[in-house]
Structure 1
Amino acid sequence: MNILYKALILLILFVGIMSCGSSRKALEEALAQAKKDSIALAKLKEKSADKLEQVKIAPIQRKYAVVMGVEAQTINIPLFKFIDKWIETPYKMGGETKSGIDCSFFAQYLFHDVYGNLIERTAQKQFDAPSTSKFLGQKYLVEGDLLFFNLEGSEFMPITHVGVYLGNGRFVHSTARRAANGKNGVQISNLKSQHWQKLFVAAGRKPNPIRNIEN
């Protein structure tokens, strides 16, 4: 029995004692209403607690919100848990393990584990696949879009690199290019940088990736 319910009962009893004309029936009705109000209040508290639980920020969200420059609650937990397992894994042409991984296998592995979608093995095949809807407008990018690059930034040259767009101008990839920390491999880069803009060929969207599984 909560404090509000107890207070209501005491008030009703006091009024009943002080009022000579008060009936037993009126007192019982008032007590029943007080009980209903108490139950309603308890349910409201439960809902409020559930909402507070939902807005709790996971450590992985807090960590990558800083890297991404976004609000923590917008971080896709399964996606960034996957990235966190692979971050700074060295780059290796043809590599498919934690000792070394290349760009296309990293993209393939990410799509399989995070989005439940098995895509092609090489960057060129990912680019050429009929299921890849290609576009140039970077303002239309959404999480999970593939980003294709080559040394000339030309669609008429072979695709030599691929990454996965994350949002807010950032993408994740495995690259031989060294990051600010001096390490190559799996890293989050800024698509808007002069280097990546020069190499950018096109974006590609695969059909119906499963996004934000735990958010």
Structure 2
Amino acid sequence: MNFTSKEIITTAAITAALVPAASVLMQDTQIAHADSVEYRVITGDSVNFRKGPSTSYESLGKLNKGYKVEYISTTNSWAKVKYNGKTGYVYAQYISQTGTQLNTTVKYVNCSSLNVRSGAGTSYSVLTSISLNTQVEVLSTSNGWSKIKVGSTTGYVSSKYLSDTKTSSSSSSTNSNASTSASKLVTYAKSFLGKPYVWGAQGPSSFDCSGFTYYVFKNSANITLPRTSKDQSTYGTTVSKSNLRVGDLVFFDTDGANDGNVSHVGIYIGSNQFIHASSSKGKVVISDFTTYYNNAFVRAKRVL
């Protein structure tokens, strides 16, 4: 086959143009198959995690400040990262510029029993419970919740109940006593399940909501609460919903739009449930923190 000089020059030019592209592909492949995994930290608040390197791509969710992501590469102003098994893109200015190796932290449970949940919040299901001084591997921490690994289980716990060192028997005695009192109180409260709701009643054959909590705490824990739900909501130590313990009082605004006024009270019994004298059910019942009660929630108080 014969080639003209013009054809030879054209072929050489095309080959030269393809070499850099092939080189780029090779570099990208090398990055994708690198032996060491590089991690970076999200530095912005509620950063969009998108399917592609542009705001026109669908968001896979939000990544909060402090989240650790597996860094893959950067294209223009977008970083390709992997988080929780998904690969996507975040705006590069919202992640740390210095790569770091993922350093997990070993911590210990500092309460008698700690629920490990499927997500970062009390509304998520309980995967398992772990006991005092159980060693866990902390993978990441954000907004008061820690993603941990214990045995073969990976889940989320409230960061408040993790410590750098094991809890000695002397320092754990207070928590242990509180846990025992709470367990006793809940068992006592459950003995009144099905008792009728009667406005103004405070037991033992019938109750209204605050009459029920008043009677249970007085007769089980020797604690005399104020009589109304509004006054009870000013008693004890305020705790957040994410840090609820068994035996905590939970308060709601059930009179309409939640404007912070308390009109109902119950006792938290764990596993995202509370026991209360319900006017709508007409008796003492156990309820879940459904969307309704989550929206009506005002505050929680710890008195044990």
TM range (shorter): 0.5 to 0.7
The yes-or-no answer on 1:134 pairing with 2:232 is: no
Q: 1:69 to 1:166 in 2, by over 3 A?
A: farther
Q: Distance in 2 between the 1:121 and 1:147 partners? A: 15
| Equivalent residue number for residue 190 of structure 1 | 288
What one-letter code is carried by the residue in structure 2 that aligns with 1:186? Answer: V
Structure 1 stretches of at least 4 aligned residues deviating more than 6 Å after TM superposition: 68-71
Partner Cα distance (1:160, 1:111) in 2: 19
Distance 1:199 1:99 in 2: 28
Contact kept? 1:69, 1:168, Cα under 8 Å? no
Give the Cα–Cα distance (whole angstroms) in 1 for the partners of residues 218 and 203 of structure 2: 15
Instruction: Name the amino acid aligned to 1:105.
Output: G
Q: 1:146 to 1:80 in 2, by over 3 A?
A: closer
Among the aligned pairs, what percent are the same residue? 27
Aligned residue in 1 for 2:298: 201
Where do 1:26-105 residues align within 5 Å?
A: 78-105=184-211
Unmatched segments (≥5 aa) in structure 1 = 1-67, 179-183, 210-215
Residue 143 in structure 1 maps to residue 246 in structure 2: yes
Report the counterpart of residue 113 of structure 1 in structure 2: 219
The 2-side partners of 1:81 and 1:119 are apart by 19
Q: Give the distance between the partners of 1:97 and 1:112, measured in 2 at CA.
A: 11
Query: 1:134 is paired with a residue of what secondary structure?
Result: strand
- Give the aligned CA root-mean-square deviation in angstroms: 2.7
Output one character per residue of 1:106-154: Cα deviation in whole Å (capped at 9) or x when no partner. 101111222221111110111123xx2223x322000111111113333
Could you tell me which residue of structure 1 aligns to residue 273 of structure 2?
A: 170
Residues 109 and 163 (structure 1), Cα distance of their counterparts in 2 relative to 1, 3 Å cut: same
Residues 70 and 168, structure 1, Cα contact 8 Å, conserved in 2: no
**Residues 139/77 of structure 1: CA separation in 2 closer, same or farther (3 Å cut):** closer
- Which structure: greater strand fraction? 2
Segments of 5+ residues of structure 2 without an aligned counterpart are 1-125, 130-178
Q: Secondary structure at the match of 1:204?
A: strand
* Distance change >3 Å, CA 90–CA 69, structure 1 → 2: farther
TM-score under structure 2 length normalisation? 0.38
Q: Using the alignment, how far apart are the partners of 1:120 and 1:103 within structure 2?
A: 12
Aligned residues: 128
- Bigger share in helix: 1
Contact 2:186 2:247 in 1 (8 A): no
Aligned to 1:45: none
Partners in 2 of 1:70 and 1:166 — Cα distance? 16
Q: Deviations over 1:128-184 (max 9, x none)?
A: 23xx2223x3220001111111133332x3x11000111111111101122xxxxx2
Q: Which residue of 1 aligns with 2:228?
A: 122
Paired with 1:77 and 1:122, the residues of 2 have a C-alpha distance of 24
Matched residue of 2:233: which SS?
Answer: helix
| Contact persistence 1:153–1:199 (CA under 8 A) | yes
Contact 1:174 1:187 in 2 (8 A): yes
